Structure 1
Amino acid sequence: MLDISRIQAITLDLDDTLWPIWPTIEVAELRLQEWLRAKAPRTSALFASPHTRMALREQAQTGWPDQHHDLSFMRREMIRLGLQQSAEDQDLAGPAFGVFFDARQQVTLFEDVVPALALLSARWPVLALSNGNADVHRVGIGQYFCGSVSAREVGVGKPDVRIFQAAAQSLQLDADQILHVGDDESLDVLGALDAGMQTAWVNRSDKLWGYPAQPHATVVSMAELCAVLGAVAAA
Protein backbone atom coordinates (compact mmCIF):
# COMPACT_ATOMS: atom_id res chain seq x y z
CA MET A 1 0.00 0.00 0.00
CA LEU A 2 1.02 3.59 -0.56
CA ASP A 3 2.65 5.36 2.34
CA ILE A 4 1.53 8.94 1.69
CA SER A 5 3.67 10.25 4.52
CA ARG A 6 6.86 9.33 2.64
CA ILE A 7 5.94 11.05 -0.63
CA GLN A 8 7.86 14.27 -1.16
CA ALA A 9 7.60 14.40 -4.96
CA ILE A 10 6.05 12.64 -7.94
CA THR A 11 7.75 11.50 -11.13
CA LEU A 12 5.35 11.09 -14.00
CA ASP A 13 5.51 9.18 -17.27
CA LEU A 14 4.06 10.96 -20.32
CA ASP A 15 3.19 8.79 -23.34
CA ASP A 16 0.11 6.61 -22.75
CA THR A 17 -0.15 7.95 -19.21
CA LEU A 18 -1.21 11.51 -20.04
CA TRP A 19 -2.15 10.98 -23.70
CA PRO A 20 -2.43 8.09 -26.17
CA ILE A 21 0.83 7.99 -28.12
CA TRP A 22 0.08 6.00 -31.27
CA PRO A 23 -2.56 8.32 -32.73
CA THR A 24 -0.05 11.14 -32.26
CA ILE A 25 2.73 9.21 -34.00
CA GLU A 26 0.44 8.26 -36.87
CA VAL A 27 -0.42 11.91 -37.51
CA ALA A 28 3.25 12.92 -37.21
CA GLU A 29 4.21 10.30 -39.79
CA LEU A 30 1.52 11.59 -42.14
CA ARG A 31 2.85 15.16 -41.78
CA LEU A 32 6.35 13.87 -42.52
CA GLN A 33 5.08 12.05 -45.60
CA GLU A 34 3.37 15.19 -46.89
CA TRP A 35 6.57 17.20 -46.44
CA LEU A 36 8.73 14.55 -48.10
CA ARG A 37 6.31 14.30 -51.01
CA ALA A 38 7.12 17.93 -51.85
CA LYS A 39 10.82 17.98 -50.91
CA ALA A 40 12.05 14.42 -51.51
CA PRO A 41 9.47 12.48 -53.53
CA ARG A 42 11.50 9.30 -53.93
CA THR A 43 12.01 9.10 -50.17
CA SER A 44 8.30 9.77 -49.68
CA ALA A 45 7.50 6.80 -51.91
CA LEU A 46 9.98 4.69 -49.96
CA PHE A 47 8.43 5.65 -46.62
CA ALA A 48 4.96 4.77 -47.88
CA SER A 49 5.78 1.10 -47.24
CA PRO A 50 5.46 0.01 -43.57
CA HIS A 51 7.85 -2.85 -44.31
CA THR A 52 10.48 -0.41 -45.61
CA ARG A 53 10.03 1.90 -42.63
CA MET A 54 10.59 -1.04 -40.31
CA ALA A 55 13.71 -2.06 -42.25
CA LEU A 56 15.10 1.47 -42.05
CA ARG A 57 14.39 1.58 -38.31
CA GLU A 58 16.23 -1.71 -37.83
CA GLN A 59 19.12 -0.42 -39.94
CA ALA A 60 19.37 2.70 -37.78
CA GLN A 61 19.31 0.61 -34.61
CA THR A 62 22.00 -1.70 -35.94
CA GLY A 63 24.20 1.20 -36.98
CA TRP A 64 23.85 3.06 -33.68
CA PRO A 65 23.49 0.46 -30.89
CA ASP A 66 24.46 3.01 -28.22
CA GLN A 67 21.75 5.47 -29.25
CA HIS A 68 18.58 3.37 -28.89
CA HIS A 69 17.51 5.47 -25.90
CA ASP A 70 17.52 8.67 -28.00
CA LEU A 71 14.32 8.49 -30.02
CA SER A 72 14.95 11.83 -31.72
CA PHE A 73 18.36 10.70 -32.95
CA MET A 74 16.99 7.37 -34.15
CA ARG A 75 14.09 8.97 -36.03
CA ARG A 76 16.43 11.50 -37.70
CA GLU A 77 18.85 8.72 -38.67
CA MET A 78 16.00 6.65 -40.08
CA ILE A 79 15.00 9.59 -42.28
CA ARG A 80 18.62 10.14 -43.35
CA LEU A 81 18.97 6.49 -44.35
CA GLY A 82 15.80 6.77 -46.41
CA LEU A 83 17.14 9.84 -48.19
CA GLN A 84 20.44 8.06 -48.79
CA GLN A 85 18.74 4.98 -50.18
CA SER A 86 16.64 7.17 -52.48
CA ALA A 87 19.68 9.17 -53.66
CA GLU A 88 18.18 12.43 -52.38
CA ASP A 89 19.73 15.22 -50.30
CA GLN A 90 20.62 13.80 -46.87
CA ASP A 91 20.79 17.34 -45.46
CA LEU A 92 16.99 17.28 -45.59
CA ALA A 93 16.99 14.85 -42.65
CA GLY A 94 17.16 17.71 -40.13
CA PRO A 95 14.24 19.79 -41.40
CA ALA A 96 12.25 16.62 -42.15
CA PHE A 97 12.67 15.51 -38.57
CA GLY A 98 11.60 18.99 -37.45
CA VAL A 99 8.29 18.52 -39.25
CA PHE A 100 7.78 15.16 -37.55
CA PHE A 101 8.83 16.49 -34.15
CA ASP A 102 6.49 19.49 -34.31
CA ALA A 103 3.57 17.19 -35.10
CA ARG A 104 4.65 14.78 -32.37
CA GLN A 105 4.01 17.52 -29.79
CA GLN A 106 0.37 17.90 -30.87
CA VAL A 107 -1.08 15.42 -28.40
CA THR A 108 -4.65 14.91 -27.25
CA LEU A 109 -4.65 14.73 -23.47
CA PHE A 110 -6.90 12.30 -21.64
CA GLU A 111 -9.77 14.29 -20.15
CA ASP A 112 -8.66 13.75 -16.56
CA VAL A 113 -5.10 14.97 -17.03
CA VAL A 114 -5.23 18.76 -16.57
CA PRO A 115 -7.40 18.67 -13.42
CA ALA A 116 -5.17 15.95 -11.97
CA LEU A 117 -1.96 17.79 -12.78
CA ALA A 118 -3.34 20.95 -11.20
CA LEU A 119 -4.19 19.07 -8.00
CA LEU A 120 -0.96 17.08 -7.80
CA SER A 121 1.37 19.97 -8.63
CA ALA A 122 -0.27 22.14 -6.00
CA ARG A 123 0.77 19.61 -3.38
CA TRP A 124 4.03 18.06 -4.61
CA PRO A 125 6.80 18.83 -7.10
CA VAL A 126 5.99 16.89 -10.28
CA LEU A 127 8.86 15.82 -12.55
CA ALA A 128 8.35 14.42 -16.06
CA LEU A 129 10.26 11.14 -16.47
CA SER A 130 10.08 9.72 -19.98
CA ASN A 131 11.81 7.53 -22.52
CA GLY A 132 10.12 9.58 -25.24
CA ASN A 133 10.82 12.99 -26.73
CA ALA A 134 7.70 14.96 -25.86
CA ASP A 135 8.27 18.46 -24.46
CA VAL A 136 5.75 19.25 -21.74
CA HIS A 137 6.02 22.97 -22.51
CA ARG A 138 5.30 22.50 -26.21
CA VAL A 139 2.49 20.11 -25.33
CA GLY A 140 1.01 22.89 -23.19
CA ILE A 141 1.25 21.49 -19.67
CA GLY A 142 4.69 22.72 -18.64
CA GLN A 143 3.30 24.91 -15.87
CA TYR A 144 2.50 21.81 -13.82
CA PHE A 145 6.06 20.42 -13.87
CA CYS A 146 9.11 21.42 -11.88
CA GLY A 147 11.36 19.89 -14.54
CA SER A 148 11.94 16.84 -16.68
CA VAL A 149 14.38 13.94 -17.03
CA SER A 150 14.56 12.03 -20.30
CA ALA A 151 16.35 8.96 -21.58
CA ARG A 152 18.10 11.17 -24.12
CA GLU A 153 19.61 13.34 -21.37
CA VAL A 154 20.60 10.50 -19.05
CA GLY A 155 21.88 8.09 -21.71
CA VAL A 156 19.65 5.21 -20.61
CA GLY A 157 15.92 4.66 -20.56
CA LYS A 158 13.44 3.06 -18.22
CA PRO A 159 13.48 0.46 -16.70
CA ASP A 160 17.21 1.09 -16.07
CA VAL A 161 17.49 2.24 -12.46
CA ARG A 162 19.94 4.97 -13.48
CA ILE A 163 17.24 7.11 -15.03
CA PHE A 164 15.19 6.90 -11.84
CA GLN A 165 18.30 7.74 -9.83
CA ALA A 166 18.86 10.76 -12.08
CA ALA A 167 15.30 11.86 -11.35
CA ALA A 168 15.86 11.53 -7.61
CA GLN A 169 19.06 13.56 -7.90
CA SER A 170 17.23 16.23 -9.85
CA LEU A 171 14.64 16.43 -7.10
CA GLN A 172 17.33 16.28 -4.39
CA LEU A 173 15.45 13.46 -2.70
CA ASP A 174 16.01 9.84 -1.82
CA ALA A 175 14.26 7.35 -4.08
CA ASP A 176 11.94 6.15 -1.31
CA GLN A 177 10.58 9.69 -0.97
CA ILE A 178 9.27 9.64 -4.55
CA LEU A 179 6.11 8.20 -6.08
CA HIS A 180 6.54 7.21 -9.72
CA VAL A 181 3.38 7.12 -11.82
CA GLY A 182 3.16 5.43 -15.22
CA ASP A 183 1.27 3.09 -17.51
CA ASP A 184 3.92 0.52 -18.44
CA GLU A 185 4.24 -2.49 -16.16
CA SER A 186 7.91 -3.15 -16.87
CA LEU A 187 9.32 0.25 -17.81
CA ASP A 188 7.51 2.26 -15.15
CA VAL A 189 6.45 0.01 -12.29
CA LEU A 190 9.20 -2.60 -12.16
CA GLY A 191 11.88 -0.06 -13.01
CA ALA A 192 10.77 2.30 -10.26
CA LEU A 193 10.43 -0.54 -7.75
CA ASP A 194 14.00 -1.65 -8.52
CA ALA A 195 15.13 1.92 -7.89
CA GLY A 196 13.42 1.97 -4.49
CA MET A 197 10.50 4.24 -5.33
CA GLN A 198 6.84 3.82 -4.52
CA THR A 199 4.80 3.21 -7.65
CA ALA A 200 1.33 3.80 -9.03
CA TRP A 201 0.29 1.88 -12.13
CA VAL A 202 -2.14 3.77 -14.39
CA ASN A 203 -4.02 0.91 -16.05
CA ARG A 204 -6.43 2.64 -18.42
CA SER A 205 -7.10 -0.45 -20.56
CA ASP A 206 -7.95 -3.05 -17.88
CA LYS A 207 -4.78 -5.11 -18.40
CA LEU A 208 -3.92 -7.97 -16.09
CA TRP A 209 -0.86 -7.60 -13.87
CA GLY A 210 1.59 -10.41 -14.65
CA TYR A 211 4.56 -10.00 -12.31
CA PRO A 212 5.32 -11.18 -8.75
CA ALA A 213 6.31 -7.68 -7.61
CA GLN A 214 3.29 -5.43 -7.16
CA PRO A 215 2.72 -1.70 -7.61
CA HIS A 216 1.85 0.18 -4.45
CA ALA A 217 -1.36 1.35 -6.11
CA THR A 218 -3.28 0.53 -9.30
CA VAL A 219 -5.66 3.12 -10.77
CA VAL A 220 -7.64 3.38 -13.99
CA SER A 221 -7.07 7.11 -14.45
CA MET A 222 -5.23 10.12 -13.14
CA ALA A 223 -8.47 11.19 -11.51
CA GLU A 224 -8.55 7.97 -9.51
CA LEU A 225 -4.90 8.49 -8.55
CA CYS A 226 -5.84 11.85 -7.06
CA ALA A 227 -8.72 10.26 -5.21
CA VAL A 228 -6.48 7.49 -3.86
CA LEU A 229 -3.88 9.95 -2.69
CA GLY A 230 -6.57 12.09 -1.10
CA ALA A 231 -8.16 9.08 0.57
CA VAL A 232 -4.82 7.90 1.89
CA ALA A 233 -3.99 11.38 3.15
CA ALA A 234 -7.29 11.58 4.98
CA ALA A 235 -7.01 8.13 6.55
Structure 2
Amino acid sequence: MTQLSDFSPWESKSVSPLTLITLDLDETVWPSESVLKKAEEVQFKWLQQRAPYLTAIHDLESLRTHRRLIREQYAEIAYDLTAVRATSLRLLLEEAGDSPDLAEEAIAVFLEARNWVTPYADVPPILEKLARTYRLASLTNGNADVQCTPLKAHFHFSLTPSIAGAAKPAPDMFRQALEQAGVEPHQAVHIGDHPECDVIAAQQVGMRAVWINRQETPWPADLPPPEATIKDFYELERWLLQEIDI
Protein backbone atom coordinates (compact mmCIF):
# COMPACT_ATOMS: atom_id res chain seq x y z
CA MET A 1 0.00 0.00 0.00
CA THR A 2 1.29 3.44 -0.87
CA GLN A 3 2.83 5.41 1.97
CA LEU A 4 2.55 9.20 1.80
CA SER A 5 5.69 11.27 2.18
CA ASP A 6 6.96 14.78 1.38
CA PHE A 7 6.31 16.17 -2.09
CA SER A 8 7.32 19.04 -4.32
CA PRO A 9 4.78 21.83 -4.92
CA TRP A 10 1.99 20.96 -7.37
CA GLU A 11 3.05 23.52 -9.93
CA SER A 12 6.55 22.05 -10.27
CA LYS A 13 5.40 18.62 -11.44
CA SER A 14 5.44 17.62 -15.07
CA VAL A 15 2.36 16.67 -17.06
CA SER A 16 1.14 13.17 -16.21
CA PRO A 17 -0.09 10.51 -18.64
CA LEU A 18 -3.10 10.29 -16.35
CA THR A 19 -6.02 11.95 -18.14
CA LEU A 20 -9.20 11.05 -16.28
CA ILE A 21 -10.09 11.07 -12.60
CA THR A 22 -13.48 9.60 -11.72
CA LEU A 23 -15.00 10.20 -8.32
CA ASP A 24 -17.79 8.74 -6.29
CA LEU A 25 -20.00 11.37 -4.63
CA ASP A 26 -21.79 10.27 -1.44
CA GLU A 27 -19.34 9.89 1.46
CA THR A 28 -16.48 10.69 -0.93
CA VAL A 29 -16.99 14.35 -1.79
CA TRP A 30 -19.86 15.09 0.61
CA PRO A 31 -21.75 13.42 3.49
CA SER A 32 -25.15 12.20 2.36
CA GLU A 33 -27.07 10.83 5.34
CA SER A 34 -28.39 14.15 6.63
CA VAL A 35 -29.08 15.38 3.09
CA LEU A 36 -31.18 12.33 2.26
CA LYS A 37 -33.07 12.63 5.53
CA LYS A 38 -33.81 16.31 4.87
CA ALA A 39 -34.88 15.65 1.27
CA GLU A 40 -37.33 12.99 2.39
CA GLU A 41 -38.73 15.31 5.04
CA VAL A 42 -39.18 18.11 2.49
CA GLN A 43 -40.95 15.75 0.12
CA PHE A 44 -43.20 14.39 2.87
CA LYS A 45 -44.29 17.90 3.89
CA TRP A 46 -45.14 18.55 0.25
CA LEU A 47 -47.13 15.31 0.11
CA GLN A 48 -49.05 16.28 3.23
CA GLN A 49 -50.37 19.28 1.30
CA ARG A 50 -51.03 17.47 -1.98
CA ALA A 51 -51.71 13.83 -1.04
CA PRO A 52 -53.59 13.80 2.28
CA TYR A 53 -54.85 10.23 1.92
CA LEU A 54 -51.35 8.86 1.43
CA THR A 55 -49.86 10.76 4.36
CA ALA A 56 -52.75 9.75 6.63
CA ILE A 57 -51.70 6.13 6.10
CA HIS A 58 -47.92 6.33 5.73
CA ASP A 59 -45.02 7.97 7.52
CA LEU A 60 -41.40 8.28 6.40
CA GLU A 61 -40.44 4.86 7.72
CA SER A 62 -43.27 3.01 6.01
CA LEU A 63 -42.40 4.76 2.74
CA ARG A 64 -38.81 3.52 3.11
CA THR A 65 -40.04 0.00 3.80
CA HIS A 66 -42.16 0.03 0.67
CA ARG A 67 -39.21 1.23 -1.43
CA ARG A 68 -37.16 -1.71 -0.17
CA LEU A 69 -39.94 -4.06 -1.27
CA ILE A 70 -40.07 -2.43 -4.70
CA ARG A 71 -36.30 -2.93 -5.16
CA GLU A 72 -36.82 -6.62 -4.41
CA GLN A 73 -39.88 -7.06 -6.58
CA TYR A 74 -38.84 -4.95 -9.59
CA ALA A 75 -35.39 -6.26 -10.42
CA GLU A 76 -35.40 -4.44 -13.76
CA ILE A 77 -35.26 -1.02 -12.03
CA ALA A 78 -33.52 -1.96 -8.76
CA TYR A 79 -30.27 -0.31 -9.89
CA ASP A 80 -31.98 3.10 -10.39
CA LEU A 81 -32.90 4.62 -7.03
CA THR A 82 -34.94 7.41 -8.60
CA ALA A 83 -37.00 4.95 -10.61
CA VAL A 84 -37.55 2.90 -7.46
CA ARG A 85 -38.75 5.97 -5.58
CA ALA A 86 -41.08 7.00 -8.40
CA THR A 87 -42.55 3.51 -8.82
CA SER A 88 -43.10 3.09 -5.10
CA LEU A 89 -44.73 6.46 -4.70
CA ARG A 90 -46.98 6.04 -7.72
CA LEU A 91 -48.25 2.70 -6.43
CA LEU A 92 -48.85 4.02 -2.91
CA LEU A 93 -50.63 7.14 -4.14
CA GLU A 94 -52.99 5.09 -6.23
CA GLU A 95 -53.57 2.62 -3.42
CA ALA A 96 -54.38 5.43 -0.97
CA GLY A 97 -56.79 7.17 -3.33
CA ASP A 98 -54.62 10.13 -4.28
CA SER A 99 -53.64 10.86 -7.88
CA PRO A 100 -50.67 8.72 -8.97
CA ASP A 101 -49.71 11.57 -11.30
CA LEU A 102 -48.46 13.42 -8.22
CA ALA A 103 -45.49 11.06 -8.08
CA GLU A 104 -43.53 12.88 -10.77
CA GLU A 105 -43.84 16.26 -9.09
CA ALA A 106 -43.08 14.76 -5.68
CA ILE A 107 -39.90 13.20 -7.05
CA ALA A 108 -38.86 16.59 -8.45
CA VAL A 109 -39.34 18.10 -4.98
CA PHE A 110 -37.17 15.36 -3.48
CA LEU A 111 -34.43 15.69 -6.08
CA GLU A 112 -34.18 19.45 -5.63
CA ALA A 113 -33.57 18.98 -1.91
CA ARG A 114 -31.27 16.01 -2.60
CA ASN A 115 -28.84 18.44 -4.21
CA TRP A 116 -28.57 20.67 -1.12
CA VAL A 117 -25.21 19.15 -0.32
CA THR A 118 -22.26 20.61 1.57
CA PRO A 119 -18.93 19.22 0.33
CA TYR A 120 -16.29 18.16 2.80
CA ALA A 121 -14.01 21.16 3.42
CA ASP A 122 -11.03 19.48 1.76
CA VAL A 123 -12.85 18.80 -1.50
CA PRO A 124 -13.47 22.15 -3.31
CA PRO A 125 -9.89 23.51 -3.22
CA ILE A 126 -8.39 20.23 -4.43
CA LEU A 127 -11.00 19.68 -7.15
CA GLU A 128 -10.34 23.20 -8.39
CA LYS A 129 -6.65 22.30 -8.79
CA LEU A 130 -7.28 18.91 -10.36
CA ALA A 131 -9.77 20.28 -12.89
CA ARG A 132 -7.01 22.43 -14.38
CA THR A 133 -4.99 19.35 -15.37
CA TYR A 134 -7.37 16.39 -15.59
CA ARG A 135 -10.84 15.57 -16.81
CA LEU A 136 -13.04 14.95 -13.78
CA ALA A 137 -16.15 12.80 -13.86
CA SER A 138 -18.56 11.81 -11.11
CA LEU A 139 -19.74 8.20 -10.99
CA THR A 140 -22.49 7.75 -8.43
CA ASN A 141 -25.06 5.12 -7.54
CA GLY A 142 -27.09 7.87 -5.90
CA ASN A 143 -29.42 10.40 -7.49
CA ALA A 144 -27.66 13.67 -6.75
CA ASP A 145 -27.01 15.80 -9.83
CA VAL A 146 -23.53 17.26 -9.44
CA GLN A 147 -24.43 20.01 -11.92
CA CYS A 148 -26.95 21.31 -9.37
CA THR A 149 -24.44 21.43 -6.51
CA PRO A 150 -21.64 23.81 -5.46
CA LEU A 151 -19.12 21.54 -7.22
CA LYS A 152 -20.65 21.85 -10.69
CA ALA A 153 -17.79 23.93 -12.13
CA HIS A 154 -15.21 21.22 -11.46
CA PHE A 155 -16.76 18.24 -13.26
CA HIS A 156 -16.54 17.69 -17.00
CA PHE A 157 -19.27 15.05 -17.05
CA SER A 158 -21.28 12.82 -14.72
CA LEU A 159 -22.75 9.34 -14.87
CA THR A 160 -25.56 7.83 -12.80
CA PRO A 161 -27.30 4.44 -12.94
CA SER A 162 -30.15 5.95 -14.96
CA ILE A 163 -27.64 7.11 -17.59
CA ALA A 164 -25.38 4.06 -17.54
CA GLY A 165 -28.16 1.48 -17.30
CA ALA A 166 -26.47 -0.18 -14.33
CA ALA A 167 -25.08 0.65 -10.91
CA LYS A 168 -21.63 0.05 -9.52
CA PRO A 169 -20.03 -2.48 -9.04
CA ALA A 170 -21.21 -3.45 -12.53
CA PRO A 171 -18.55 -2.32 -15.02
CA ASP A 172 -20.91 -0.31 -17.23
CA MET A 173 -20.45 3.08 -15.56
CA PHE A 174 -16.66 2.80 -15.52
CA ARG A 175 -16.51 1.69 -19.15
CA GLN A 176 -18.81 4.48 -20.28
CA ALA A 177 -16.67 7.02 -18.44
CA LEU A 178 -13.55 5.75 -20.21
CA GLU A 179 -15.33 5.83 -23.57
CA GLN A 180 -16.75 9.31 -23.02
CA ALA A 181 -13.34 10.65 -22.01
CA GLY A 182 -11.64 8.81 -24.87
CA VAL A 183 -9.01 7.21 -22.64
CA GLU A 184 -7.66 3.74 -21.90
CA PRO A 185 -8.10 2.22 -18.42
CA HIS A 186 -4.46 2.81 -17.48
CA GLN A 187 -5.00 6.54 -18.08
CA ALA A 188 -7.68 6.77 -15.40
CA VAL A 189 -7.96 6.51 -11.63
CA HIS A 190 -11.14 6.19 -9.55
CA ILE A 191 -11.61 7.60 -6.05
CA GLY A 192 -14.34 6.22 -3.82
CA ASP A 193 -15.33 5.15 -0.32
CA HIS A 194 -16.91 1.76 -1.04
CA PRO A 195 -14.47 -1.18 -1.15
CA GLU A 196 -16.45 -3.25 -3.65
CA CYS A 197 -18.50 -0.71 -5.61
CA ASP A 198 -15.62 1.72 -6.04
CA VAL A 199 -12.18 0.18 -5.51
CA ILE A 200 -12.54 -3.43 -6.64
CA ALA A 201 -14.99 -2.56 -9.42
CA ALA A 202 -12.67 0.06 -10.92
CA GLN A 203 -9.67 -2.25 -10.72
CA GLN A 204 -11.60 -4.98 -12.53
CA VAL A 205 -11.91 -2.78 -15.63
CA GLY A 206 -8.21 -1.97 -15.52
CA MET A 207 -8.33 1.41 -13.79
CA ARG A 208 -6.24 2.40 -10.82
CA ALA A 209 -8.30 2.97 -7.69
CA VAL A 210 -7.84 4.77 -4.39
CA TRP A 211 -9.92 4.10 -1.29
CA ILE A 212 -10.96 7.20 0.64
CA ASN A 213 -11.57 6.13 4.21
CA ARG A 214 -12.76 9.18 6.11
CA GLN A 215 -14.06 7.14 9.06
CA GLU A 216 -10.91 5.01 9.43
CA THR A 217 -12.85 1.77 9.15
CA PRO A 218 -11.05 -1.54 8.60
CA TRP A 219 -10.68 -2.80 5.03
CA PRO A 220 -12.74 -6.00 4.50
CA ALA A 221 -10.51 -8.96 5.27
CA ASP A 222 -11.91 -11.02 2.39
CA LEU A 223 -10.90 -8.47 -0.27
CA PRO A 224 -7.46 -7.79 -1.74
CA PRO A 225 -6.05 -4.60 -0.17
CA PRO A 226 -6.41 -1.29 -2.03
CA GLU A 227 -3.45 0.20 -3.84
CA ALA A 228 -3.64 3.28 -1.65
CA THR A 229 -5.78 4.56 1.19
CA ILE A 230 -6.38 8.24 1.91
CA LYS A 231 -8.40 10.02 4.55
CA ASP A 232 -9.14 13.25 2.63
CA PHE A 233 -8.51 15.06 -0.65
CA TYR A 234 -5.33 16.68 0.60
CA GLU A 235 -3.86 13.19 0.75
CA LEU A 236 -5.31 12.50 -2.69
CA GLU A 237 -3.35 15.45 -4.07
CA ARG A 238 -0.15 14.22 -2.47
CA TRP A 239 -0.72 10.67 -3.74
CA LEU A 240 -1.24 11.94 -7.28
CA LEU A 241 1.97 13.94 -7.12
CA GLN A 242 3.93 10.96 -5.87
CA GLU A 243 2.39 8.09 -7.80
CA ILE A 244 1.17 9.62 -11.05
CA ASP A 245 3.10 12.76 -11.84
CA ILE A 246 6.62 11.37 -11.75
Gaps in structure 1 of 5+ consecutive residues: none
Residue in structure 2 matched with residue 104 of structure 1 by the alignment: 114
Residue in structure 2 matched with residue 74 of structure 1 by the alignment: 84
Asked if 1 retains the 8 angstrom alpha-carbon contact of 2:185 and 2:205, the reply is: yes
- TM-score (structure 2 length as normaliser): 0.88
Residue in structure 1 matched with residue 38 of structure 2 by the alignment: 27
Which has the larger helix fraction? 1
How many residues matched? Answer: 233
State the Cα deviation string for residues 95-154 of structure 1 (Å, max 9, x = none): 111111110010111111100111111121111111112111101212111111221111
Residue in structure 2 matched with residue 13 of structure 1 by the alignment: 24
**Equivalent-residue separation in structure 2 for 1:93 and 1:64 (angstroms):** 17
* Residues 202-213 of structure 1: pairs in structure 2 closer than 5 A: 202-210=212-220, 211-213=222-224
**Equivalent-residue separation in structure 1 for 2:47 and 2:178 (angstroms):** 41
The SS at the match of 2:30 is: coil
Given residue 238 of structure 2, which amino acid in structure 1 is its aligned partner?
Answer: A
> % of aligned pairs identical?
31
The yes-or-no answer on 1:193 pairing with 2:200 is no
Residue in structure 2 matched with residue 92 of structure 1 by the alignment: 102
State the Cα deviation string for residues 54-79 of structure 1 (Å, max 9, x = none): 33113422442111121111111121
Residue in structure 1 matched with residue 136 of structure 2 by the alignment: 126
**Equivalent-residue separation in structure 2 for 1:85 and 1:136 (angstroms):** 34
The yes-or-no answer on 1:221 pairing with 2:232 is yes
Question: Could you say if the C-alpha distance between residues 153 and 102 of structure 1 is closer, same or farther in structure 2, counting changes exceeding 3 Å?
Answer: same
Residue in structure 1 matched with residue 153 of structure 2 by the alignment: 143
Asked if 2 retains the 8 angstrom alpha-carbon contact of 1:46 and 1:82, the reply is: no
Aligned Cα RMSD in Å?
A: 1.8
Asked if 2 retains the 8 angstrom alpha-carbon contact of 1:6 and 1:178, the reply is: no
Asked if 2 retains the 8 angstrom alpha-carbon contact of 1:105 and 1:138, the reply is: yes
Residue in structure 1 matched with residue 184 of structure 2 by the alignment: 174
Given residue 68 of structure 1, which amino acid in structure 2 is its aligned partner?
Answer: A
- TM-score (structure 1 length as normaliser): 0.92
Question: Could you say if the C-alpha distance between residues 234 and 63 of structure 1 is closer, same or farther in structure 2, counting changes exceeding 3 Å?
Answer: closer
**Equivalent-residue separation in structure 1 for 2:205 and 2:245 (angstroms):** 28
**Equivalent-residue separation in structure 1 for 2:19 and 2:198 (angstroms):** 18
State the shift of 1:189 in Å: 0.4
**Equivalent-residue separation in structure 2 for 1:234 and 1:161 (angstroms):** 27
Residue in structure 2 matched with residue 58 of structure 1 by the alignment: 68
State the shift of 1:228 in Å: 1.9
Question: Could you say if the C-alpha distance between residues 45 and 147 of structure 1 is closer, same or farther in structure 2, counting changes exceeding 3 Å?
Answer: same
Given residue 69 of structure 1, which amino acid in structure 2 is its aligned partner?
Answer: Y
Alignment partner for residue 116 of structure 1, among 106, 126, 131? 126
* Residues 148-167 of structure 1: pairs in structure 2 closer than 5 A: 148-167=158-177
State the Cα deviation string for residues 132-188 of structure 1 (Å, max 9, x = none): 121111012121111112211111111111221111111111112100001111100
Asked if 2 retains the 8 angstrom alpha-carbon contact of 1:56 and 1:81, the reply is: no
Asked if 2 retains the 8 angstrom alpha-carbon contact of 1:11 and 1:128, the reply is: yes
Asked if 1 retains the 8 angstrom alpha-carbon contact of 2:191 and 2:198, the reply is: yes
Given residue 224 of structure 2, which amino acid in structure 1 is its aligned partner?
Answer: A
**Equivalent-residue separation in structure 2 for 1:18 and 1:234 (angstroms):** 23
